[in-house]
Amino acid sequence: MVKGFSDNKVKNDAEIKESKKEKKGLAGFLKGKKFTYTLPGKKQINIFGSIVIVLNMILVLLVILYLKNQEFHDFVFNVGR
C-alpha cells in the first residue's frame, strides 16, 4: 500500500458549498471592510521603547524598595488587604 495522496479526485463540491454559510456577528460586519497595517515609524518605535524601559526601571526600583525598606513593605502589605 502506497502512502500519500491518491490520484482519484473526490467530488465534494456540494459539501464545500454547504459549509460556506453566511457569516454572522462581527465576522459578517468585517467581511467587506478593508484593513491595512502599516509598520510603525522610527520615532514611534523610540517612544514606545522608551516608555517600556522607564516602566521596567520603575518596577525594579519598587521591587528593591519593597525588599530593602520595611516601612514600604508594611505599607504595601496593609494596602493589599
- Is the full-model pTM beyond 0.85? no
Percentage of residues in the chain having pLDDT higher than 70: 69
The amino acid present at 3, given as its one-letter code, is K
In the chain, the N- to C-terminal Cα span, in Å, equals 68
Phi, psi of 23 (to 5 degrees): -75, 140
Q: What is the average pLDDT across 52-75?
A: 96
Q: How far is CA 4 from the centre of its chain?
A: 37
For 6-22, what is each residue's pLDDT tens digit?
A: 656 655 555 555 556 66
Strand positions, DSSP E, the chain: none
Beta carbons within 10 angstroms of residue 8's beta carbon: 5
